Structure 1
Amino acid sequence: MKKLVAIGKTVEAAVKNGLSQLGVEEDRVQVSILEHPSRGLFGLFGSKDAKVELEVKPDGIEEAISFLQEVTGAMDLQVKVERNEGSDHTTINLTGNDLGILIGRRGQTLDSLQYLANIVANRHSDKHLRIVLDAEKFRERRKQTLEALSDRMANRVIRSRREVVLEPMSSQERKIIHSWLQSNPHVKTYSQGDEPNRSIVIAPK
């Protein structure tokens, strides 16, 4: 963790000087007072400034990004990292060439990396963090594919009046289908089976 010693006429001024040098807000640091200010003899001789030590608290998301950069570097992949803050999660999108190996079959490798990135982030945070990891906007393309699949399978169920069981999917992908078909008045959805082979069933209402 990054540390810095700063001085100032008062403790508050010393902290402000340290924050300015570090380029962070006060809630990102742990402050230790090393020396209180003193006025000296008659307020003139031997006066001392306040001295504080600022230690930057680890940022869970930044730690996760560093982890991902190490992994991609070990795979000889050149990636650019984009970080976008959402209301309840942080999206990390990786861009670059030949990232198919990071995505894997139907996003399975990407899901595994996302799982590990979340572990790293929460290990370095005192509050729960949620990371959604993407590569070349794969998640959005996959979402569109799943929504189209949902419509096709729902129409089949409506025509045949028989339920359809989809292939096993991650909880993230199942949520997309549940949400997409929630407003369909003719079908209902539910999940069956155990992880990692849990599947969605589309059934007539």
Structure 2
Amino acid sequence: MQDLKTAAQQTQDFLKMLTTTGGMKLRFRITAGAGAADPDGLEDRLIYVELSGPDADLLTARDGEVLRALEHVCAKILRLEPDEHDRISFDANGFKAARNRVLLDTAKEGIEAVKTSGRPYSFDPMSSRERRMLHLALKGAEGMRTESSGEGPSRFVVLYPENWRNRESDERANKIRERFRRR
């Protein structure tokens, strides 16, 4: 990311345009630098935007779809590479902070399920950004590893015991090898 002061100014300009020309009734507060750090450690943010006001509920409707869209547009304005999109984070009325807490709780549930069963645990499908955050939340799970599976909007995270091998595919592979050995 370029100079933080410039990036924060560009973010402010974008939000001013949204509230004046776009007519959205929103207040915003931009925090840049160390003060923008995510207390949960799920995002590597350098700029944090808190939105409130009469139209804030519009941003959080449909599971925060408009909030994510504004965040994405701002990341494009700042010319951030896709792997840098978590450098800027928008929240409205604490919506995203609450979602982060849900992700952390979900991660704990998954860890407990894998510990108890010794089998992989599949999480619900989620956006690429939330999958990345879930991977980060699960990173410290001792004796476990994560992978994403599925495609498009159906993509989800799977938490595996560290040395898990898919027994069914191993059995299938062994049967195929055995057939070729007989020939």
AA paired with 2:27?
K
1:120 aligns with 2:67: no
Match of 1:191 in 2: 148
Please give the secondary structure, in 2, of the residue aligned with 1:185.
coil
CA gap 1:184/1:80 in 2 versus in 1, 3 angstroms: same
* 1:194 shift after superposition: 3.6
CA gap 1:68/1:195 in 2 versus in 1, 3 angstroms: farther
Match of 2:110 in 1: 153
Please give the secondary structure, in 2, of the residue aligned with 1:167.
coil
Q: Please give the alpha-carbon distance, in whole angstroms, between the structure 1 residues aligned to 2:120 and 2:104.
A: 17
Identity between Structure 1 and Structure 2 (%): 26
Q: What is the root-mean-square deviation in Å for CA atoms of aligned residues?
A: 2.9
What TM-score comes out, normalization by structure 2 length?
Answer: 0.65
Structure 2: unaligned runs, 5 residues or longer = 35-44, 163-183
Q: Which has the higher helix share?
A: 2
CA gap 1:65/1:197 in 2 versus in 1, 3 angstroms: farther
CA gap 1:122/1:179 in 2 versus in 1, 3 angstroms: closer
Match of 2:13 in 1: 66
Q: Which has the higher strand share?
A: 1
AA paired with 2:79?
N
Match of 1:83 in 2: 30
1:138 aligns with 2:85: no
What TM-score comes out, normalization by structure 1 length?
Answer: 0.59
Q: How many residues are aligned here?
A: 145
Match of 2:60 in 1: 103
* 1:117 shift after superposition: 1.2
Match of 1:10 in 2: none
* 1:133 shift after superposition: 1.5
Q: Please give the alpha-carbon distance, in whole angstroms, between the structure 2 residues aligned to 1:90 and 1:189.
A: 28
AA paired with 1:66?
D
Question: Computing the radius of gyration over CA atoms, which structure comes out larger, 1 or 2?
Answer: 1
Q: Please give the alpha-carbon distance, in whole angstroms, between the structure 1 residues aligned to 2:52 and 2:79.
A: 24
Structure 1: unaligned runs, 5 residues or longer = 1-27, 29-57
* 1:82 shift after superposition: 0.6
Please give the secondary structure, in 1, of the residue aligned with 2:48.
strand
What whole-Å deviation, never above 9, does each CA across 1:133-184 have from its counterpart, x for those lacking one?
1212322211111100111122122222222222222232222222222222
**Is the CA contact (8 Å cut-off) linking 2:26 and 2:55 kept in structure 1?**
no
* 1:190 shift after superposition: 1.4
**Runs in 1 of length 4+ with deviation above 6 angstroms?**
none
User: RCO (CA 8 Å, sep 6+): is it higher in 1 or 2?
Assistant: 2
Q: Please give the alpha-carbon distance, in whole angstroms, between the structure 1 residues aligned to 2:19 and 2:124.
A: 30
